[in-house]
Structure 1
């Protein structure tokens, strides 16, 4: 596989139709799809290594060895956060072909339909749940579970809600910790029902989730091995790793900025690769590097760039703003009973025990647990003060002086918050207590975590030096909107309520965290601030909205004020969605370049298409 990669002589000084900056989750998809047309030449630049045949990447439990490991993770830190008592926090981001899809927790979820419809209503024609779902299914190769499964924790799905022929395998986990079904039944007592599928746009409820795992090879399916590796034999695709993008080289033509080349470092030397048609920036599964690259290129807020000595090519103040980030609260660490056959991650660290378990169960390979117990809860079910919270935020919004874009997105968020069918926080049932180990890891322990689905807090990601190797300033402004903390506090209360409900209650020995001394709202809030971290689910830093409302890209992914620069990654999503975003990134990338769209020719020139609506516009303009 290594020999199929490009060398610097294949890239430096050469010209390609398309140059893709970033070989992460979205970049691998875009490069692979574009190069399906043999008349199009594509260069893909990835700052990290390839990680071919790396068991920590291909093994589907390897994330514990990759996150925070500098071989696989850029290991960013945020600026000091007032919401975390003035401390910075880790901001993991994937390093290497496949980006964050090679180090994440293999969680495969799709948003609530109202969330994707809200994206369209923010001025993005052609964006809605139906269109999004079509592309999401195109990614998936659903692997049906064994119809004779006897696990109480059921594999529930609808065949027409999933894709069956895509590049990324998704499947249910085979093994269960044994407490999942009791947790679901306790949730049902408290108004959270088990749903028959979570991949059709209605996610409120609890379910066993699927993961991007090939059940035959028992390996991780991610964007590099699903999309890119099968394309490496194409002569029109050149992929260069260890190629750190510095900036885009631009010129001006008819009042528009035109990208002519990409400047990058490889082997300690600075090189350029030239773009005949377009540069596609896909450096932000999690919204960090795409705004950073544009700002280094002189596209951004003049007030930020000029003091750093960066020549301004295009004054676009919204670059790097509107940042929204899920944060994960390490909610409860619970010690479980030992006489009910429960199995949790810490117990499997004992190799002798793990092998005995494999033999006892008659398994061909080791017993492996997955992160598959998910619940998405509307505050109308999960909070005793739901109406109060909605009215409080509505009153604050009415009094606030907001920019047009923030006002528009807040209006949509308030609609979603007031809708009892739309979830507002997630509960994540985890057969582990990562990253806070229990005092007795050989005993069964579970962790129950929570995330606020659509934070009202907005942050920024901005260049802080003209040196392209210097980190951007990542400032998510955690918990600066009170309602985000209010929801998190009520999520903790709801978690406790469920843990004290039968049949789950009978499996609990004790709650070790937060513990019996944390009870009031103030005490819970203090606990949250101390025990919360980034989920690396960042959106919004290159928001897709009208330019006069603070947008950076249009519905065709093109950066406003430019002729041939697109951004295709999670950073374009203008309003957050409740789910873990891996599958969303794939769908966005497929929407960015669908292989089903036919290129349009005009006077011998090949023109690119993005969304179906964009293709229609191009046809009207050129035919």
Structure 2
């Protein structure tokens, strides 16, 4: 393994003085995968530009039980949405990783996959090669699964299909060795509600109750991110250069040979107070994520002509789809008072002795509270959580929605059919208060959270650049306008109605044995507050935005931003490889899927170079 200081050996001047075959914009979840796979060929030179620092030995990142502590800090872009009318005018924080490893260094290490139908839907839109069977080899290529021991498997209901899991990939994944005190009650509680345990929850259907996997290396019990998995083992390659603290301002586009088509030839980036130009002879690959990939395209002159002109950017490729089609998972956290004798993550926040003991245990044996992740999960179809009449009403409303492209309407409407067996809503239960809205009194009581997360939102929004201060031209330093349009318009009305019914089911879970044996009562929302009002006042993002540089499928440039090989329409030598290319949202946390997209995208680059 390379030294953590390897990436500091190249100065920005040295980086800019080299001519690379490929330049990757963004050293995050996808970018480091692409760079590692391309640089496997010693005859190919690859440069990576990452806006954040390299932080490779920080407990907030590496220790599993410290998940969430880095959000809102210096390693987070700290984006915020525009005020959302559908959320009573609230503006939501949108965490994104600003560090080598990107959001894979900040997320909660959840490792799961969507159902077969979600990926097949991408192919149905005309994106050949993007169905479940097409992607499964790339899921497996990214991971090394570590099987649990028999006792752990039996006690914590750790089920899986080994044929669907990778054995030699860079990212270490597996089941935890220890679990929250409430986890022992989770499966039996859902069984009482008619929900069966899914024995192969990453094998093509996530419907049911199951124990989640995490991206944690069992040898060290530390986070396995794209930085530790794909970069560090390869950092000493002479044909791979990674420059951190380098903010890309735009992609250089030229009309080569006097032709009408644009070609990407380089990247301008700011390091400190100086702007540099780096050149690439083959391709520029944007891996900046759902927020910043469209931002970089727009700053480079690719996007809606009216938006670009208003922002002071010269239009080169007019594509109104850039930055549109934004889809995000939305979440609400219901809080319950629980038995005060249960060990609770909040003990580490309020009890110095407990925190010191947890630190000591983790340091000495890599065990204890700092190894525990939220792993009690269930994905349910609406037929299990909504009254049949309400589901029929939503289906009727969805059938009449304006939708672009038209194929999306058919797919999204079919998901509301009562016979549809898809994970429409995700539930996660864990001890501790996860709600940013509920402020518990200082009375020594302990709490638990039931999260409900809508998986296929009908709400669609956008992300776009805008003029800077005093109407100056937009720059990379200006955060783009993020407008998810949560609960807005007729699309949002479907989401709000669904979330209200799903909240009632969350309450029902907490009232069902054996989980109800540890619950003393619901405290948030308080009994006097209606569930619909509470949903509006408390909904937040689950940090899973997709779609802003979507694959166009059979409609081509009229339906998206990139083709099925992730090449940007209208520009040679330019691709986007990250969650922004997903044309439709999936029912899963995004991490494993982004790794698969990056693995597949890297292979496409290599294939197209031959």
Aligned to 2:156, what secondary structure does the other structure show? coil
Distance (Å, rounded) in 2 between the aligned partners of 1:252 and 1:486: 50
1:199-229 per-residue CA deviation (whole Å, 9 max, x = no partner) reads: 1011000111010011221100000110011
Unpaired segments ≥5 residues, structure 2: 468-473
Shift of residue 84, structure 1, vs aligned partner: 1.1
Structure-2 residue corresponding to 1:275:
280
Match status 1:415 vs 2:414: yes
How do 1:59-70 and structure 2 match up within 5 A? 59-69=63-73
How many residues were matched structurally?
587
Aligned to 1:148, what secondary structure does the other structure show? helix
Which of 213, 222, 227 is the matching residue for 2:216? Answer: 213
Distance (Å, rounded) in 1 between the aligned partners of 2:356 and 2:273: 47
Which of 570, 574, 588 is the matching residue for 2:583? Answer: 574
Structure-2 residue corresponding to 1:129:
132
Cα 1:20/1:111, change in 2 over 3 Å = same
| Conserved 8 A contact 1:93-1:100 | yes
Cα 1:363/1:401, change in 2 over 3 Å = closer
| Conserved 8 A contact 1:354-1:366 | no
Match status 1:528 vs 2:535: yes
Shift of residue 231, structure 1, vs aligned partner: 1.3
| Conserved 8 A contact 1:109-1:209 | yes
Structure-1 residue corresponding to 2:441:
439
Match status 1:555 vs 2:564: yes
Structure-1 residue corresponding to 2:144:
141
Cα 1:100/1:356, change in 2 over 3 Å = closer
Which of 583, 590, 604 is the matching residue for 2:592? Answer: 583
| Conserved 8 A contact 2:68-2:107 | no
Structure-1 residue corresponding to 2:512:
501
Structure-2 residue corresponding to 1:604:
none
Distance (Å, rounded) in 2 between the aligned partners of 1:365 and 1:402: 50
Unpaired segments ≥5 residues, structure 1: 598-607
Distance (Å, rounded) in 1 between the aligned partners of 2:45 and 2:359: 49
Match status 1:429 vs 2:429: yes
Distance (Å, rounded) in 1 between the aligned partners of 2:570 and 2:527: 57
Distance (Å, rounded) in 1 between the aligned partners of 2:6 and 2:224: 22
Shift of residue 394, structure 1, vs aligned partner: 3.4
| Conserved 8 A contact 1:346-1:443 | no
TM-score, normalized by length of structure 2? 0.92
Which of 511, 522, 545 is the matching residue for 1:511? Answer: 522
Cα 1:356/1:78, change in 2 over 3 Å = closer
Structure-1 residue corresponding to 2:471:
none
Structure-2 residue corresponding to 1:474:
482
Distance (Å, rounded) in 1 between the aligned partners of 2:455 and 2:466: 29
Structure-1 residue corresponding to 2:43:
39
Distance (Å, rounded) in 1 between the aligned partners of 2:129 and 2:15: 36
Shift of residue 188, structure 1, vs aligned partner: 1.4
Distance (Å, rounded) in 2 between the aligned partners of 1:150 and 1:138: 24
1:524-567 per-residue CA deviation (whole Å, 9 max, x = no partner) reads: 12111211212110001001123254211011000111111000
Distance (Å, rounded) in 2 between the aligned partners of 1:358 and 1:219: 14
How do 1:198-597 and structure 2 match up within 5 A? 198-253=201-256, 254-284=259-289, 287-330=290-333, 332-338=334-340, 342-349=342-349, 350-353=351-354, 365-368=367-370, 369-385=372-388, 387-398=389-400, 400-403=401-404, 405=405, 407-418=406-417, 419-434=419-434, 435=436, 436=438, 438-439=440-441, 443-465=445-467, 466-480=474-488, 481-518=492-529, 523-545=530-552, 546-594=555-603
Distance (Å, rounded) in 1 between the aligned partners of 2:361 and 2:600: 47
Distance (Å, rounded) in 1 between the aligned partners of 2:459 and 2:433: 27
1:240-283 per-residue CA deviation (whole Å, 9 max, x = no partner) reads: 00000000110124432101110010021000000101000000
Aligned to 2:187, what secondary structure does the other structure show? helix
Aligned to 1:329, what secondary structure does the other structure show? strand
Aligned to 2:460, what secondary structure does the other structure show? coil
1:271-314 per-residue CA deviation (whole Å, 9 max, x = no partner) reads: 00001010000000xx0000000000000000111122211110
Aligned to 1:234, what secondary structure does the other structure show? coil
Match status 1:57 vs 2:33: no
| Conserved 8 A contact 1:347-1:442 | no
Structure-2 residue corresponding to 1:107:
110
| Conserved 8 A contact 2:398-2:494 | no
RMSD of Structure 2 on Structure 1 (CA): 2.1
Cα 1:397/1:268, change in 2 over 3 Å = same
Shift of residue 442, structure 1, vs aligned partner: 5.4
Aligned to 2:139, what secondary structure does the other structure show? helix
Shift of residue 65, structure 1, vs aligned partner: 2.1
| Conserved 8 A contact 1:358-1:364 | no
Shift of residue 123, structure 1, vs aligned partner: 1.0
Distance (Å, rounded) in 1 between the aligned partners of 2:222 and 2:442: 30
Q: Mean Cα displacement is larger for which, 368-377 or 115-124?
A: 368-377
Shift of residue 428, structure 1, vs aligned partner: 1.3
Shift of residue 467, structure 1, vs aligned partner: 2.2
